[in-house]
Amino acid sequence: MRFLFVGDSMTIGRAGDWTWRYRMWQHLEATLPGAYEIVGPRTALYDPAADAPASDAYADPAFPGPARRHLAGWGEGWLHMAPVIGETVAATGAQVLLVSLGLIDLGFYTNSDQTEANVRAFVSAARAADPRVRAVFLPVIPNVRATYDAPFAAECARFNDLLARALTDLDSPGSPLLLAAVPETYDLDRDTYDGTHPGPTGEHKLAAAFAGAMHRAWSLGGPYRPRDHAGAVPA
């Protein structure tokens, strides 16, 4: 099973981060050993000093190179990923897309209706490359801006409604689409380092959202259990 992470700054991570991709890699190692591959055209983290995806300074330097693969970018959203997802699926043979997008779109590029149109374009392009592709989508988790910008908060809520409806419309037995649940306990103060980007606890919660959706709907993998840096479940 070939997995592709698709996301924005919350997914690519910055220099020094573990990333929720790392937490998901640990989960796949524990629940699908030898039966999965992480694919994607990129491996780097965002480097603030260079203002570019130019860092390989993951918090765990032992994070294997092949497991670092992704299709994520700082400042990139549905607007940017819809045009490239088809070629990426075709080139990598990705079978399961784990997608966390939307916050940057609504914050800077598109309104909720335009963002939903890009979701539909994304799914169409992915299926054109592989009609059997599966995908799990995380709703937008509003960041600190939503606490003081009421119109932005409303757009986030509206987009999440539109996303759920779009996935219901587009879901098919041959190419199933899942909507993951935003973690109920996700807290911007505790689970992010700046009101937007996940810290270690937030990373575990995002990975758990994807892992839980796949396990419940497809019996893929197993229940998510946070692991330490050696891959062990703390007592």
Q: What is the CATH number of the domain that holds 172?
A: 3.40.50.1110
Q: Residue 176: inside a domain, yes or no? A: yes
53: in domain: yes
pLDDT value of residue 233: 62
Q: Is residue 24 part of a domain?
A: yes
Whether 94 is in a domain gets the answer yes
Q: How many domains does the chain have?
A: 1
Ordered DSSP codes for 84-153: THHHHHHHH---EEEEE--HHIIIII--HHHHHHHHHHHHHHHHHH-TT-EEEEEPP---GGGGT-HHHH
Residue 229 has pLDDT above 90, yes or no: no
Residue 227's pLDDT is what?
80
Q: What angle do CA 231, 232, 235 make, to 5 degrees?
A: 155
The tokens for 59 are: 């918090």
Report whether 58 contacts 45 (CB < 8 A).
yes
Asked if the structure places residue 160 within a domain, the reply is yes
pLDDT in tens, 119-167: 999 999 999 999 999 999 999 999 999 999 999 999 999 999 999 999 9
Q: How confident is the model at residue 228 (pLDDT cuts 50, 70, 90)?
A: confident
- Whether pTM > 0.85 for this model: the answer is yes
Give the residue from 147, 160, 155 showing the smallest Cα distance to 119.
160
124 domain residue, yes or no: yes
Percent of the residues in the chain that have a pLDDT greater than 70, as a whole number: 97
Please give the average per-residue pLDDT across 55-84, as a whole number.
98
- Give the domain extent around 195: 2-218
